[in-house]
Amino acid sequence: DAKTTQPNSMESNEEEPVHLPCNHSTISGTDYIHWYRQLPSQGPEYVIHGLTSNVNNRMASLAIAEDRKSSTLILHRATLRDAAVYYCILRDIIQGAQKLVFGQGTRLTINP
């Protein structure tokens, strides 16, 4: 079964870039890579997702390795509001049923 592996915690400084890694060495060809973040006492918030190509949106960038066995979420200029637990999730639809694989999440601390 596919699984995702993330560092338990990372720390960065405000206004610096942050690179959050995720390993998914057993990813299948049709798994999408989704990233979510969760603030205390809130539900996970969508950040970005992709399949094969790198993706950019207003929140972040997603860099996907050529073999798709790893990906990196990039926050270009971290702010204090980016402090959260970041989850790397694999999502696929198999025979009409959703399959989700969650990582344990990376707790990101931003220092002022």
Partner 1 sequence: KAGVTQTPRYLIKTRGQQVTLSCSPISGHRSVSWYQQTPGQGLQFLFEYFSETQRNKGNFPGRFSGRQFSNSRSEMNVSTLELGDSALYLCASSPGLNSGNTIYFGEGSWLTVV
For partner 1, the binding residues (CB under 8 A) are: 30-32, 34, 36, 42-46, 49, 51, 87, 91-93, 96-100, 102, 104-105
SS (H, E, C) 9-24: EEEEECCCCEEEEEEC
Question: Minimum distance from CB of 14 to partner 1 (Å)?
Answer: 27
For the CA atoms of 54, 65, 26, 42, what is the dihedral angle to 10 degrees?
-50
- Closer to partner 1 by CB, 10 or 99: give it: 99
Question: Minimum distance from CB of 44 to partner 1 (Å)?
Answer: 5
